[in-house]
Structure 1
Amino acid sequence: MEQNSLVEYGWRRAIITITAILCALLEIVDTTIINVALNDMRGNMGATLSEIGWVITAYAIGNVIVVPLTSFFSQQFGRRNYFAASVVLFTICSFLCGNATTMWELILFRFLQGVGGGALLVTSQTIITEVYPLEKRSMAQALYGLGVIVGPTLGPPLGGYIVEHYSWPYIFYINIPIGIIATMLTLKFVKSPKYGEKKKASEIDWWGIVFLAGAVGSLQFVLERGQEEDWFNNSMILAFSVMCVAFIYLFIWRELTVKNPIVELRVLKDSNLRVGTILSFIMGFGLYGSTFIIPLYTQNNLGWTAYQAGLLMVPSSLMTAFMMPIIGQVLQRGLKQKYLAAAGMFLFFMFCFWGFRILTPDTGEGNFFWMLMLRGLAMSMLFIPISTLSLSTLKGQQIGQGAAFTGMMRQLGGSFGIALITTFMTRQNAFHRNNLIEHINPNNPLFQQKYQGMVSNFIQHGMAPNQAKAAALQAMDGSLMGQASVLSYMDVFLYIGIMFLICVPFILMLKNAKAKVDMSNVH
């Protein structure tokens, strides 16, 4: 079978694995490392809050557009060449981002960096899957999973450290030496599979590329900008939403009718891949959603620095890193993937429920430790079983196409997660604030007691009575907002947890892939 010629052994396999993980890490760390530097960039560039948001949006759009096209480009240019070119593009754009002098330069280079980065993510998964023999695929997914799960959590503390000790351009410069090493290793060691004939320019499905870029680009735009622009009350968001639906329809129609489709949708006939893409979406939602809200909560509500907030997430990542190879071994010994995935979903629900229970306006650092360790364990139990389950019944070229689908759905799950969480929290903040305000009236003895106590305290500190009354009301309003905010975070934890809990019975109903994997072993 064609994929067996790509299997490597010994130190060559070790070098290829390290190269692929390095590239996946480069891409993913860059998605989150920038979050903590946005304030510094804004001051430096004289940009508004919504302009600086584009630095994240542009990268995500470039990323999501290129992920589904990766399999096609690998076939067209040879996987090694395409992978090396992507690393080079990513590295050059990192240098250009650090040197950008205007906001729009930075946004353009971030978009191009995202185009290079999207390929790194999926191609590195395909490379790792193919250099390991079939019986060791679970182990391969475990090693790749290290990069994908640890990456988002390494970003914030690393970014916080660089911003505190150096300046924001170094967030981009840090990629350059790694990029150079990865390019050299790729050209020396990675092989390209024989795909058969390249397509001539006239045979390439250009319309498919246009429709796909339009669909995922406009969807990503709506998700990233919707909350700031008040969703469908804004004509621009409405126009992009209509465009997105139209492009999705045209893309599906085109891919199912054209002779050489740019993305092989028929690969989704595989029932394991279909379920795997949905589970990847939910996993992305939980992974990026929790990586987003916990630092946000500790910085906004508890007053931590970006570096402290980032460090909080590190033990959880180390737990995942430690557990990944163990989970890979357990799968290799024959434990069914669906049982591990179901257990992972249940543990993630437990983590969310724990978060729901412990949040207060002054939760201490110690309260988060074991809760986040549980998250690390849950993530290690989700990633490998879902990846191997998704790709287990695919062969040859289909592996790359399947990896592109699961990769895209994981990224889109993260974008959906963050967009939904920010919108939901804004709504819940207003809802809880209104509920709490109902208790603030002159007839409520508890309110009166607290209010009078604060007024007399301010007067004792030398304030005039009318100033003291205004200050007391302001302080109470501040504490009210703090409480409303905590209640909103609690709601987010609860609902994400319920979403994961609902998945458990569906995973257990899956046909098991293990027997099918053994069948493909015969080829």
Structure 2
Amino acid sequence: MKRTILLITVIAAAVMELIDTSIVNVALSHMSGNLGATLEDTSWVITAYAIANVIIIPITSFLSNKLGRRNYYIGSIIAFTFFSFMCGQASNIWVLIIFRFLQGMGGGALLSVSQVIVFELFPKEKQNVASALFGVGVFVGPTIGPTLGGYITEFYDWPWIFFINVPIGIVAAAICYALLKEPEVKGTAGKIDWAGIILLAIGVGSLQTVLERGETDDWFEAGYIIFLSVTAFFGLLLFIWWELTTPTPVVNLRVLKSRNLSLAAILTFVSGVGLFSSVFLTPVFAQRLLNFTPTQTGLLLLPGAILAIGGLIISARLLQRGVSPLIMITTGMLMFVVFSWQMSGYNLDVSAQSLTTTLIWRGVGLAMTTVPLSVLAVSSLAPVDFAQGAALNNMMRQLGGSFGLAMVNTYLANRNAVHRSDLVANITADNPVAVKRLADYTQFFISKGAGLADAKAKALRLIDAGITKQTSMLSFDDAYLLIGLVFLFSLPLLLMASRKKKGTKVQVVLADH
């Protein structure tokens, strides 16, 4: 019973952290108006959290060893909870951004350390089940974040996006204080690798800022984006060199010599692209173009999320029965490709039922990849390296998400320009359909009492609004197709893990590389 309570608690903590990666996305305009800030400044609320997450996640193993995993984990829950409360109390946008960054620093452990604790609560032969249970949080958290944020903002107020964490955090900290113990196998931390920590913060922080802010500020047209890109390149280069040469690295990059972990990290990056890109595109598409409410949007995503939980459990059972993880990863990625292909063919008349059915392909597809990738990542590592392997794998998912969002935002902007140019080119005096549409609209406004000149101006604005909406629709179609192609072109990487040793199963080979 105690194990079950602890299991639910650490998974809930991970879900809470992941929800906060996307819960604020739909509340930015409300924050902006309430705090008297520009929307551009308010978007740093998202960026600050993402930067803090991606800096802290890879060093969670070191901090666990240095401070004691139990102390570090409980302390992180308390920090996350406290700074969540302070975010809701902020009366200034820059104060909110600072507290949001500190919230992200506390939240880093709630992902990687939670995963390791879940693994250790199960015997080795049932760790596939552990992966499935943790995968529920990994998948469900970012998926329900925007919907939950929209609902809270619509019916309450934006500070409650943060206040909702407080009771959950207090209960989680109390339960972990009572039930969580130090692991039997402990790693060694050695002296603090300050150089590694500083280089990691500079390199990864700069990269994350570029990915989060690049599209907003027109990429390399902005001087600070150029500066941060150069800083990220040399910072990460120096970080890798230092961590491979120092005897006490803050991030043990040597674990990446495991082919399993390296392959899993790359494919987890790809799954992060798909997970975060699709969970960004779909609510925006449904609410801005189809005029769905946040609640209606949540109902679109709900069946896929429920079936995904079933997919996670089934995938764990299949792994236990000896089904190759390569087959399951391939199946899941192809299901996501089907989702992307179907979404790329929709227009503004698409029904909610069609979208719900298509989103099931997305949910189950990502679910089918989550458990095999989690198992693959740590399958050839010694128990003492589990935490480091899990941390690096989780960092790759977060980076994949940031890269995916930057990619689709830039692609949407570019395709918007292309499609608008193509559509406007058809609005000419030689096009009888365009001429008739303009005449019909003009006549409609005249019938409502407008003068001829005013009616024609309103008709042109109405046509322009239609072009803008259709342009956005075509651009969203292209963006869905793009992320599907990323998945499709990643499939050949699985051949790297397809070699067998004579007389062994693929699963055994995967564990022995």
TM-score, normalization by structure 2: 0.96
1:147 CA drift (Å): 0.7
1:515 alignment partner AA:
V
- Deviation of 1:195 after TM superposition, in Å, equals 5.7
Give the conservation status (yes or no) of the 8 Å contact 2:273–2:403. yes
Q: Which residue identity lines up with residue 246 of structure 1 in the other structure?
A: F
Whether the 8 Å contact between 1:16 and 1:190 is mirrored in structure 2 is yes
Match of 1:169 in 2: 159
State how many pairs are aligned. Answer: 507
- Note the C-alpha offset of 1:42: 1.3
> 2:56 maps to which residue?
66
Structure 2's unaligned 5+ residue stretches are 500-505
Offset at 1:16? 2.5
Pairing partner for 1:75 from 65, 68, 72: 65
2:489: which partner in 1? 502
Q: Provide the identity percentage.
A: 44
Check 1:421–1:197 CA distance in 2 against 1; reply closer, same or farther (3 A cut): closer
The residue correspondences of 1:190-339 to structure 2 (distance < 5 A) are 190-194=180-184, 199=189, 203-339=191-327
| Inter-partner Cα distance in structure 2 for 1:97 and 1:197 | 34
Q: Distance in 2 between matches of 1:17 and 1:509?
A: 34
* 1:198 CA displacement: 5.3
Which residue of structure 2 aligns with residue 7 of structure 1? none
Secondary structure at 1:313's aligned position in 2? Answer: helix
Paired with 1:372 and 1:255, the residues of 2 have a C-alpha distance of 41
User: Contact (CA 8 Å) 2:274, 2:401: kept in 1 or not?
Assistant: yes
> Quick check: 335-344 or 146-155, which moved more?
146-155
Query: Aligned ranges for residues 151-162 of structure 1 at < 5 Å?
Result: 151-162=141-152
* 2:38 aligned with 1:27: no
Matches within 5 A, 1:47-196: 47-194=37-184
Give the equivalent residue in structure 1 for 2:379.
392
Counterpart AA for 2:254? R
Deviation, structure 1 residue 233: 0.8
Letter in 2 for 1:289: S
Task: Return the alpha-carbon distance in structure 1 between the equivalents of residues 283 and 266 of structure 2.
Answer: 27
CA contact (8 A) 1:153 1:310 kept: no
**Equivalent residue number for residue 502 of structure 2:** none
CA contact (8 A) 1:288 1:414 kept: yes
2:461 is the alignment partner of 1:465: no
Shift of 1:199: 4.8
Give, in angstroms, the shift of residue 148 of structure 1: 0.8
Which range moved further: 72-81 or 126-135? 126-135
Contact 1:355 1:490 in 2 (8 A): yes
CA displacement at 1:455 relative to structure 2: 1.9
Mapped partners of 1:199, 1:343: distance in 2: 40
Q: 2:495 and 2:15 mapped to 1: Cα distance?
A: 31
TM-superposed deviation, 1:291? 0.3
The structure-2 alpha-carbon separation of the partners of 1:518 and 1:260, relative to structure 1 and needing over 3 Å to count, comes to closer
Decide whether the 8 Å contact of 1:392 with 1:516 is kept in 2: no
Aligned to 2:26: 36
Q: Distance in 2 between matches of 1:307 and 1:52?
A: 24
Q: Quick one: structure 1 residues 517 and 239, their matched pair in 2 at CA, closer, same or farther if it must change by over 3 Å? A: closer
User: TM-score, normalised to structure 1's length?
Assistant: 0.94
Separation (CA, whole Å) in 2 of partners of 1:481 and 1:45: 30
Counterpart code for 2:454: Q
Aligned to 1:414: 401
Shift of 1:257: 1.1
Structure-2 separation of matches of 1:282 and 1:121 = 18
Residue 22 (structure 1) shift: 0.9
Residues 287 and 293 in structure 2, CA contact (< 8 A), matched pair in contact too: yes
CA distance 1:199–1:459, shift in 2 (3 Å): closer
Instruction: Label 1:276 to 1:518 Cα distance change in 2 as closer, same or farther (>3 A).
Output: closer
